[in-house]
Chains A and B, each alone.
Chain A
Amino acid sequence: MDRHRKTVHLTVNGVEYEREVEVRKTLADFLRYDLGLRGTHLGCEHGVCGACTVMFNDSSARSCILYAVQADGADILTVEGLTSPEGPLHPIQEAFRKHHGLQCGFCTPGFLMPALELLVEKHGPTEKEIRNAISGNLCRCTGYAGIVEAIREADAMWERP
């Protein structure tokens, strides 16, 4: 095989995939273009804006500065995996909708991941903890107040597994 290509096996949203990739392909581009999972958005493409955040083995990570080869053997969760396409929204998504935690929605898939990570780890986080959790994500529409409110409500409403 070409020394700039490798085969990766990984699980995304519970589905196993095997693909050959160019090793310099970012995980974000792989998710979007090789797997067609375009819910993961790309903003800055150098690890600043947080739009591309996914869950990588249960920790939030920026998929624009990870390479798809690094995800060999990994378990990835993207916004598409939060709930089934036909099902109701995930409680965190529902809370974002209710509290206007989004306007244009571009940054939202990225925000959902650290919110999920925080709420899995912690019940009843303080406002400071919520703001800290999402501090690596930029939103240019909401001014963050709705997002913080949404995460607070999701904390109360979501019955964690």
Chain B
Amino acid sequence: MKPAPFEYFAPESVEEALDLLEQHGDTAKILAGGQSLGPLLNMRLASPEVLIDINRLEDIAYIRHDDGYLKIGALARQRTIERSLLIPKSWPLLYEAAPYIGHPTLRNRGTICGSLAHADPAAELPAIATALDAELHILGPEGERSARPEEFFESYMTTSLKPEELLAEVRFPPPRPRTGVAWLEVARRHGDFALVGVAAVLTLREDGTCEAARLVYTGVAPVPYDAREAAELLAGEQPDGESFDAAAEKAAELSEPGSDVHASAAYRRHLIRVLSRRALGKALERARGEGDGSP
């Protein structure tokens, strides 16, 4: 047997899942897609006493458009992003990044909320949720609460979720006009975790100058690196090579990437510079409506 022994529950309703979480709290893990948890269990890096499998909860497998928001339930699979007609049009950042999440077979089972709750510092979705100011809706014994990404992601694979809580839904706010986005990343091989990935969001004023920007990175910090100081340099500026270079430089300068077996800190900083410039350039084209606007 690969994993250590555990007790297994497959609740038939969200209420039942929450009851089980309340009962078993600290010693339990939610099993959704299992594409990260499975390997951890098999290698015995994790050995929870109880697994609460939420794969029977079809009613929280939704992706829907509601009140301008994109609402994604806890069991919605990553693969559904690629097959959605709505997401490429209105939340293209999510659509553009989806193919970088592992491989198709992994995305068949891996869930969007599961990736957020797992909070791998090199994963795509936490950075995207941060860049798009997503809201995380959490259910627990005290009812519902909502968290912003910067409150939710605390450290490496650590979130503000309490042991008895479930990340039930992530909500992406409506797209803003004159806004272009881009996702770029560098990995050793396609489908591997990124050495560095960047989400760029650029909003223009009617006169073509930059109103606001966001630059959020994966792979360079314990939580998504939200380079606000760098992005704020762009506000009021002409969006061009010069201002993009300045923002990219600032983002690299203020970053504190680590060195590991995959890449040195200096190389990661280099990637921040290069990818930021490219991503801003791409976001600008899209904000101006050049090309067909789709990734």
Chain A positions within 8 Å of B, measured between CB atoms, are 3-4, 6, 22-26, 29, 45-48, 50, 53, 56, 59-62, 64-67, 69-70, 72, 113-114, 117, 132-133, 135-137
Q: From the candidates B4, B34, B79, B105, name the one contacting A136 in the complex (CB within 8 A).
A: B105
Chain B positions within 8 Å of A, measured between CB atoms, are 1-8, 10, 31, 34-35, 38-39, 41-43, 51, 53, 55, 79, 99, 102-106, 108-109, 190-191
For the complex, give the distance between the alpha carbons of A60 and B42 in Å: 20
| B8 lies within 8 A of A23 (CB) | yes
Known: A24-B1, A47-B39. A61 touches B8 (CB 8 A): no
| B103 lies within 8 A of A65 (CB) | no
Q: Which residues of B contact A70 (CB under 8 A)?
A: 10, 31, 34, 53, 55
Q: Which residues of A contact B53 (CB under 8 A)?
A: 69-70
Known: A46-B39, A70-B55, A136-B102. A61 touches B7 (CB 8 A): no
- Among the interface residues A22, A50, A66, which one has the most CB atoms of the partner chain B within 10 A? A66
Q: Which residues of A contact B31 (CB under 8 A)?
A: 70
Q: From the candidates B42, B102, B104, name the one contacting A64 in the complex (CB within 8 A).
A: B42
Q: From the candidates A23, A25, A66, name the one contacting B7 in the complex (CB within 8 A).
A: A23
Q: 25 A-B residue contacts at CB 8 Å?
A: A4-B5, A23-B6, A23-B8, A24-B1, A26-B42, A29-B2, A46-B42, A59-B109, A60-B104, A60-B105, A60-B108, A61-B105, A61-B108, A62-B35, A64-B38, A65-B38, A66-B38, A66-B109, A67-B8, A70-B10, A70-B53, A114-B104, A133-B104, A136-B102, A136-B105
Known: A3-B7, A46-B43, A70-B53. A24 touches B2 (CB 8 A): yes
* B58 CB to nearest A CB, Å: 12
* B122 CB to nearest A CB, Å: 15
For the complex, give the distance between the alpha carbons of A48 and B35 in Å: 10
Q: Which residues of B contact A22 (CB under 8 A)?
A: 1, 5
For the complex, give the distance between the alpha carbons of A50 and B31 in Å: 20
Q: Which residues of B contact A114 (CB under 8 A)?
A: 104-105
Q: Which residues of A contact B2 (CB under 8 A)?
A: 24, 26, 29, 45, 64
Q: Which residues of B contact A47 (CB under 8 A)?
A: 35, 38-39, 42, 106
For the complex, give the distance between the alpha carbons of A72 and B55 in Å: 11
Nearest B residue to A136 via CB reads B103
Q: From the candidates B3, B5, B79, B105, name the one contacting A53 in the complex (CB within 8 A).
A: B105
* B45 CB to nearest A CB, Å: 10
For the complex, give the distance between the alpha carbons of A41 and B105 in Å: 16
* B220 CB to nearest A CB, Å: 24
- Among the interface residues A47, A72, A117, A132, which one has the most CB atoms of the partner chain B within 10 A? A47
Q: Which residues of B contact A61 (CB under 8 A)?
A: 105, 108-109
For the complex, give the distance between the alpha carbons of A47 and B191 in Å: 13
| B105 lies within 8 A of A50 (CB) | yes
| A69 lies within 8 A of B4 (CB) | no
| A69 lies within 8 A of B105 (CB) | no
Other than the known A70-B34, A135-B191, what 12 A-B pairs have Cβ atoms closer than 8 Å?
A3-B7, A4-B5, A6-B8, A50-B105, A62-B35, A62-B38, A62-B106, A64-B2, A64-B42, A66-B38, A136-B103, A136-B105
* A20 CB to nearest B CB, Å: 13
* A119 CB to nearest B CB, Å: 13
For the complex, give the distance between the alpha carbons of A134 and B102 in Å: 12
Q: Which residues of B contact A60 (CB under 8 A)?
A: 104-105, 108
Known: A132-B99, A135-B190. A62 touches B105 (CB 8 A): yes
* A144 CB to nearest B CB, Å: 13
Q: From the candidates B1, B35, B104, name the one contacting A65 in the complex (CB within 8 A).
A: B35
| B7 lies within 8 A of A136 (CB) | no
Q: Which residues of A contact B191 (CB under 8 A)?
A: 135-136
- Among the interface residues B7, B43, B108, B191, which one has the most CB atoms of the partner chain A within 10 A? B108
Closest 9 CB pairs of A and B: A65-B38, A136-B103, A23-B8, A46-B39, A59-B108, A60-B105, A136-B105, A24-B3, A46-B42
